[in-house]
Chains A and B, each alone.
Chain A
């Protein structure tokens, strides 16, 4: 099976969906002639042309809202945010218009858009470009939120997102764009709301999404090699819909859980997962649920300190040792 990058897997997903459905278009800053700030859309403008791959001005509220308006008439825009941090200047469109119009119209209008781009810290760029708003998005009924951890998932989930009839926010990761995974050449889709066990284990459940899954796998290796602990790694893949069953099944099996996410801890995604575990697997727990999140301050610029700020294997191993 060929190994391709996370970036190429996404690029292939877009190309296949653009080819399949002429209502699919792409909008975003630098995505066309420049081939994408992170080269995720490389070659698509040359292949599909000006009419379908469109460079926008730096005007997130404008082009996000334009995409939403176009989607009401059946166009299916994929809207790139150069960083999810920039969603904050388009907040009204993305969080007040996109998810509410269907409801407020009594189901008369659909908003089939994908909004996508990287949402991660760890890149030494300071607080304004390091936000991870999957918790805000998942908080909002009407939205779906997807955080792929690897190239295979990124492609299959993105294709499902494009075909979804509701707004789907896909949060990628700049630190994963250049990494390679096995991705089959034949077409496949991964449904939203289906978690994946990335590593089977019996002693503890590490539950994560996005790049934190990769960090958990690294922690699981250290736990096995250095501490004889056999950790299970659950990749949520999407936050909403959430595969609650997979979470609860894993906790029932291992009786312990460490939740890992890159959100800041207060009201972060893992807080919701912890609430679900205590409610649905209380009698199976042999220890309190632990959380490893980003440290609770604005993202620091200084690289060695930022590396400590985002979840890393060392912090995960330490959390596991505290409850095992």
Chain B
């Protein structure tokens, strides 16, 4: 991939699978071409290699702040983005790198953002938790637990208001289900028939607190029932399974303005963030190893595609090599990119300042 490239062909609907997403959801996997399947697999590998490279950079001291890795959960972002058509949108919380790459953001702009560089997707102003690409219908990247859940309802509201046939995928973690904003969002979504699909990425731990210790009642998605919303629980280790259950949910949202909650069971191999050095204290090594050995979504999809004859060992090696190279290149790109110039501190705060309009007057900044 070339440096600064803004076009990456991904499994995201706009390139390959938009047509197949429009077909009957029952055949949502049957209609995938071999090329589609390779792209789905490749995107998951790209996310994992990107994040492993970012962890390395963090350990080198090149990335600061928080780094919430998605490793182990890649199937959810890739499956979600693969079903998105032109009027479908996606928004998530702070574990947001996987969704970014899935919708077609480049490794370069994402890695540069982690480095705090001017070439980053937010010019180095957002950081790891705040990636955005509105041109790809990706609305972030939100740092506060459940803070994005009313925004997701709002995006769905806007689609309906503008009479656009689309839906909003609003992702949240299992810890977010105990926030009031989430429940207010579900109530509004159901009350106003908004085309939003809430996806709980249940990786079993809200920071270091297990689901059993933080959330009354299971499954978590069942809470939707009290808002008269559809809900379901999905095995997140299978890309096919996610697509199979997500596709009809999105179709109902688009066609009937029926919101729903899908709880996708998954697991993160790393701590809550890279700074979470104690993650082996609140869960056992055995548990982590079990997920890696038996439930890893990339490994399982690889096996499936080998059985289907879609992938070969050579192709697997090639995809892995390319993803590693792309990640290494992105780190080099980020490393060599400049930091934002100092005057950038005061841009992107107010629209009118950036556009130098004469409309408004008065002082907006109060330095000195």
Q: Do A and B come from one complex?
A: yes
- Chain A residues engaging chain B, CB cutoff 8 angstroms: 25, 51, 56-57, 59, 61-75, 92-93, 96-97, 101-110, 141-142, 144, 160, 164-166, 191-195, 238, 240-244, 272
Q: Is the CB of A61 within 8 A of B122?
A: no
The smallest beta-carbon distance between B329 and chain A, in angstroms, is 22
Please name all residues of chain A whose beta carbon is closer than 8 Å to the beta carbon of B349 when the two chains form the complex. Answer: 102-103, 141-142
Q: Is B152 an interface residue (CB 8 A)?
A: yes
Q: Which chain B residues (335-366) contact chain A, with CB distance < 8 Å?
A: 347-352, 354, 359-366
Q: Is B115 an interface residue (CB 8 A)?
A: no
Stretch from B6-14, B126-134, B198-206 at the A interface: B126-134
Q: Is the CB of B125 within 8 A of A103?
A: yes
Instruction: Decide: A166 near B350, CB < 8 A? Known: A240-B364, A243-B362.
Output: yes
Q: Is the CB of B122 within 8 A of A64?
A: no
Q: Which of B120, B133, B150, B359 contacts A61 (CB 8 A)?
A: B150
Please name all residues of chain A whose beta carbon is closer than 8 Å to the beta carbon of B156 when the two chains form the complex. Answer: 69
Instruction: Decide: A67 near B154, CB < 8 A? Known: A51-B161, A103-B125, A104-B122.
Output: yes
Residue of B nearest to A105 (CB): B132
Q: Is the CB of A75 within 8 A of B157?
A: yes
Q: Is B26 an interface residue (CB 8 A)?
A: no
Please name all residues of chain A whose beta carbon is closer than 8 Å to the beta carbon of B185 when the two chains form the complex. Answer: 62, 65-66
Q: Is the CB of A101 within 8 A of B140?
A: yes
Contacts A66-B188, A240-B364 aside, 10 further interface pairs with beta carbons under 8 A come to A62-B185, A62-B188, A63-B150, A69-B150, A69-B156, A70-B155, A72-B154, A73-B158, A104-B132, A238-B362
Q: Which chain B residues (138-181) contact chain A, with CB distance < 8 Å?
A: 139-142, 144, 147, 149-159, 161-162, 180-181
Q: Is the CB of B154 within 8 A of A71?
A: yes
Q: Is the CB of B360 within 8 A of A193?
A: yes
Q: Is B123 an interface residue (CB 8 A)?
A: yes
Instruction: Decide: A70 near B132, CB < 8 A? Known: A103-B349, A193-B361, A193-B362.
Output: no
Instruction: Decide: A93 near B181, CB < 8 A? Known: A69-B155, A142-B350.
Output: yes
- 23 A-B residue pairings within 8 Å (CB atoms): A57-B184, A57-B187, A59-B184, A61-B150, A65-B153, A65-B181, A66-B157, A69-B151, A73-B89, A73-B158, A92-B144, A102-B348, A104-B122, A104-B140, A105-B348, A106-B123, A107-B347, A107-B348, A191-B359, A192-B360, A193-B360, A242-B362, A243-B361
Please tell me the size bucket of the interface on B. 35 or more
The smallest beta-carbon distance between B201 and chain A, in angstroms, is 19
CA distance A59 to B185 in the complex (A): 9
- Chain B residues engaging chain A, CB cutoff 8 angstroms: 89, 91, 120-127, 130, 132-135, 139-142, 144, 147, 149-159, 161-162, 180-181, 184-185, 187-188, 191, 347-352, 354, 359-366
Please name all residues of chain A whose beta carbon is closer than 8 Å to the beta carbon of B130 when the two chains form the complex. Answer: 104-105
Q: Is the CB of B362 within 8 A of A109?
A: no
The smallest beta-carbon distance between B148 and chain A, in angstroms, is 8
The smallest beta-carbon distance between B165 and chain A, in angstroms, is 14
Q: Is the CB of A62 within 8 A of B153?
A: yes
CA distance A128 to B143 in the complex (A): 29
Q: Is the CB of B139 within 8 A of A109?
A: yes
CA distance A44 to B229 in the complex (A): 31
The smallest beta-carbon distance between B169 and chain A, in angstroms, is 13
CA distance A94 to B50 in the complex (A): 34
Please name all residues of chain B whose beta carbon is closer than 8 Å to the beta carbon of A57 when the two chains form the complex. Answer: 184, 187-188, 191
Instruction: Decide: A110 near B364, CB < 8 A? Known: A61-B184, A103-B125.
Output: no
CA distance A109 to B180 in the complex (A): 25
Q: Which of B149, B151, B350 contacts A72 (CB 8 A)?
A: B151
Q: Is the CB of B352 within 8 A of A141?
A: no
